[in-house]
Structure 1
Amino acid sequence: MVNSYLSRLVRRQAEKYGDKVALKYRDYTTSTWIPVSWNKFANLVDQVAKALVATGVEVQENIGVFSQNKPECFYVDFGAFRDRIVTVPLYATSSEAQVHYIVEDAAIRFLFVGEQYQYDVAYRVQSLGRSLKQIIIFDPTVKRASGDCNSIYFSDFLKLEEDEKWLNEVEARTSASSPDDLANILYTSGTTGDSKGVMLHHSNYEAAFKGHDARLKELGENDVVMNFLPFTHIFERGWAFYCLYKGCMLCINLKPQDIQKTIKEIRPTAMCSVPRFWEKVFAGVHEKINEATGLKKALMLDALRVGKEHNITYLMNGKTPPAVLRMKYKFYERTIYSLLKKTIGLENGNFFPTAGAAIPEKVEEFVHSVGIDMVAGYGLTESTATVSCEWKGDFRIGGVGRVLPGVEVRIGENNEIQLRGGTITKGYYKKEAITKQAFTDDGWFRTGDAGYMKDGFLYLTDRIKDLFKTSNGKYIAPQAIETKLVVDRYIDQVTIIADRRKFVSALIVPEYAQVEKFAREHHITFTSRKDLLENPKIIELFQLRIDTLQQEFAHYEQVKRFTLLPEPFSMERGELTNTLKLKRAVVARNYKDIIDKMYEENVG
């Protein structure tokens, strides 16, 4: 019988690597990184596996992990895999309503929580629902509610395994494990409605490992990988599992807001991220260029020009750069590019997978121009992450790479990207009707994304459901416009309004610090942020920048009116998902009065 690979992965790696460091995490009390060896990792996984059996968790039962990124998340995941138990990760920022829904939908009896916020939410959910029996707390500093006599700390949970009789049951379960076992249920963020539980089986991960082995040939045991996206997200989860399978060292970033500090402490060789990370880098570098003068500014601009010509005009297109261009590039590689990478913390970079949203072309060109190997890709929770990805020197600006070996892609009706292969989910948990709708009659998964293939590369155009139709009958692709505008240093967030409207408008969240700096430099006085954003000179500034950025769009696609918002879109108001994707319907509802005002005849 073939057993599940994930059920024995950590123990196999411990036998190979022993006391070599497998994981690191930051201790915030001492500001140091604590190493965990492969041997210790494997022992903790075994302890969790025995404690889960002792607790009474059944084969293929669902347990929850409601935490920010912590090493304990891995101990629970792989301990559960040893026992043929299913883990259901929840985003650390999930609301009480979201947690309640998932706990009840997946019938979770045992929920592991990270810090105080997660415990407080879980405790309230336990009193409201029928499913949740016990909360296990990772952080020993969490204060339990006065009437809580049932929850236990992770250290006490581990003591449940001290009776060796549980080991036989763990070994029996591991020996009976199968690639057909369910491994995870990942609840999607739900930009268009209720969250759905995507079922991922062990076979899905194994197929993903095999496909990545054929593409990511330079990842291995010498790589130091920073984990900063949530482990709840399939991109970071699938990537982290694959890195462990390859013997990499994982450095777990606890607080997302600390990434600029922790990346400099670790100086990783690899890290997966969303385009927003690179947009911030792009904006920061161009701010430095704008502040520079004379020879320094000229050199920085020339370095970007030379890098673009060398890496994109020539190498990307399979051409050999001229000797003079190669010499200039080598000079900037030793000076400006090197200094830039060191300033960010990426001077040891191997490659950096990037996905989760459209990458603005200016940002992608910039990253490749300075010699950083960004690997753009495309995937979904339902495809166990990667559908396609680039590789070093094998990329196209605007593309999302070549389709991963083992995954089949076809372009269906309305240019929809449809998928088939070993990484594709079998469906949504307890949702047969929705599962049926998600697949074509001949068994291909409908992604809902529109795209096309060209020269072996996959290109995305839009979310099919996101296409807007104006009252004049014109179709608008909002993401294409938003991606163009968001690279501007004065713009932080933007959402396009156009559906069933006469023309295109936009709600814009400015980069407040940049706007305030502009106001000081131009002697614009203001009493509040709202007052500042309504100033005619500030509106004129944004109008000029928007007009410049949207020149390539057809007249009917261009933003005609916009409103600058004094507060950013937020998860608290339901405007953003846990993965920071915009919920357009909620934004339209929350800002209805502001939007309606932009379409009044006498405005402007």
Structure 2
Amino acid sequence: LSDRDSSVCFLPLCHIFERAWTYFCLYTGIPVAINNDPNRIQQTLRERHPTCMCSVPRFWEKVYTVIESKMAEMNPLRRFIARRAQKVGRRRNLDYDRLGLRAPWLLELRYKFYDRLVFTPLQRVIGVERGNIFPTAGAPLSPAITEFFHCCGINVLIGYGLSETTATVACFPRVGYEIGTVGTPIPRVQVKIGPENEILVKGPTVMTGYYRKPEATKEAFTADGWLRTGDAGRIDSTGAIILTDRLKDLFKTSNGKYIAPQAIESRLGEDKYIDQAAVIGDRRKFVSALIVPAFGELRRYAEAHGIDADDNVALTADPRIYSFYEERLARLLDDMAPHEHIKRFTLLPQPFTIENGELTNTLKVKRRAVAERYAEEIERMYV
């Protein structure tokens, strides 16, 4: 990165990730365009064409579902070309470029062909055709979605951190990153795994303590000075960190099976018919979920199948729509453990919002608030 790059700021500046990133941009001489309305971010990207921008997984999930929807509408020939381009992009970008290797000349030639025919037009529609890196953190992003964008030549750079660590603890390195991880620790930051698989951090970017809260500060650190992150995970053979979930979000069913809700929600985020999801099941007999449909896609499906699509309430209450989602969930979670499968779910006619206190300012679900607001709907799933 250098002063030849440009960035767009659309996350709240009160959030450590955007704030630290913007400080870095200003220090480096990277001009930053401020987007004040999150609903305009797609338009802003097409106006500004940034080479870099920090974001949260929800942004890329929405872009992915739009692309998948457009591909589904293509004629068979164009769809075949797009899928073929993805295969070539995967071989070139993940099997060679990711490892710092030079691709065989024929593969490189084919990649350049598909880059001009498919990838660059796709990037131009999003507004990232000049892309360098796009740091993404704050919640898990599905490995399948991460891989898709890398195949298309869009460098979604996955990372991990907390306010208490001045944002970044780890991120994808330029060479040797592993899809499904949050990268390797940045220089001078140490990471190890503590009791209950908790990720512990030490380094110059770690806070000295909470302001005027000595007891909370004491609880936040181990006796030998490691910060307790509250996140569960492990370190693989390459030194990359694999996140499991927030320790406080992990729950156990009444059958004694541990569930990592974010992993399930991340998988659901791959589906173009699902906009938001909250997985339920703490001390319950089985896993359930509150699901907000992607109503634009769902209406198109409903109209094509003769189902009244004018009213969200009627749409989500229709037994045919429920059966449709039941089949999709079964396919989405097919390779997960049986106790992780969603046995029952409720389709909600309205989305979770920041204004209603159901989402954080980085669009993560506030589980307690959702559980309180939809207590009746949750209880009905366990009757």
- TM-score of the superposition, structure 2-length normalised? 0.96
State the Cα deviation string for residues 580-603 of structure 1 (Å, max 9, x = none).
221212211211111111111xxx
CA drift of 1:389 comes to 1.0
Equivalenced residues, count: 382
Task: Name 1:344's counterpart in structure 2.
Answer: 126
Structure 2 residue corresponding to 1:491, chosen from 266, 271, 274: 274
Task: Give the corresponding residue for 1:583.
Answer: 366
| Residue number in structure 2 paired with 1:597 | 380
2:232 aligns to what?
450
1:499, distance to aligned residue in structure 2 (A): 0.3
Amino acid at match of 1:508: I
CA distance in 1, matches of 2:341, 2:101: 36
Mapped to 1, the partners of 2:61 and 2:367 lie a distance apart of 22
Q: Match for 2:256: what amino acid? A: G
For residues 139 and 44 of structure 2, the distance between their equivalents in structure 1, rounded to whole angstroms, comes to 24
Q: Which residue of 1 aligns with 2:252?
A: 469
Tell whether the 8 Å contact from 2:161 to 2:168 is kept in structure 1 after alignment.
yes
| 1:23-102 superposed matches below 5 A | none
Q: Does 1:409 align with 2:223?
A: no
Q: Is the Cα contact below 8 Å between 1:401 and 1:458 reproduced in 2?
A: yes
Alignment equivalent of 2:90, drawn from 293, 298, 308: 308
CA distance in 1, matches of 2:2, 2:100: 27
In 1: Cα distance, 2:36 partner to 2:168 partner: 24
* Bigger Cα Rg: 1
Contact residue 7 and residue 51 of structure 2 kept, 8 A: yes
Task: Give the conservation status (yes or no) of the 8 Å contact 1:289–1:301.
Answer: no
Alignment of 1:529-540 (within 5 A): 529-540=312-323
Matched, 1:425 2:207: yes
| Counterpart-to-counterpart distance in 1, 2:241 and 2:309 | 48
1:561 to 344, 364, 374: 344
Letter in 2 for 1:255: D
Tell me by how many angstroms 1:545 deviates: 0.8
Per the TM alignment, residue 518 of structure 1 is displaced from its structure 2 partner at its CA by 0.7
**One-letter amino acid of the structure 2 residue matched with residue 535 of structure 1:** D
Mapped to 2, the partners of 1:465 and 1:405 lie a distance apart of 28
Aligned residue in 2 for 1:247: 29
- Aligned partner of 1:232: which letter? C
Q: For residue 268 of structure 1, report the CA deviation from its aligned partner.
A: 0.9
Q: Which has the larger displacement, 575-584 or 534-543?
A: 575-584
Q: Is contact 1:462–1:477 with CA below 8 Å preserved after alignment?
A: yes
**Cα drift, residue 572 of structure 1:** 3.2
TM (norm. structure 1) is 0.62
Correspondence 1:523 to 2:329: no
Closer/same/farther in 2, CA of residues 319 and 247 from structure 1, 3 Å limit: closer
Q: Secondary structure at the match of 2:228?
A: strand
Return closer, same or farther for 1:330/1:472 CA change in 2, 3 Å cut-off.
same
CA–CA separation in structure 1 for the residues paired with 2:362 and 2:127? 24
Distance 2:321 2:10 in 1: 35
Paired with 1:253 and 1:435, the residues of 2 have a C-alpha distance of 35
Q: Which runs of 5+ in 2 are unaligned?
A: none
Instruction: Return the letter of the residue paired with 2:279.
Output: I
Question: How far apart are the structure 1 equivalents of 2:308 and 2:29?
Answer: 57
Whole-Å Cα distance in 2 between the matches of residues 407 and 526 of structure 1?
Answer: 52
Q: Check the 8 A contact 1:373/1:392 in 2, yes or no.
A: no
> Using the alignment, how far apart are the partners of 2:369 and 2:58 within structure 1?
22
Out of 243, 266, 269, which is 2:51 matched to? 269
Where in structure 2 are the equivalents of 1:278-293 lying within 5 Å?
278-293=60-75
- Deviation (angstroms), 1:309: 2.3
The change in CA–CA distance for 1:268 and 1:319 in structure 2 (over 3 A counts) is closer
**Relative contact order (alpha carbons < 8 A, sep ≥ 6): 1 or 2 greater?**
2
Q: Does 1:335 align with 2:105?
A: no
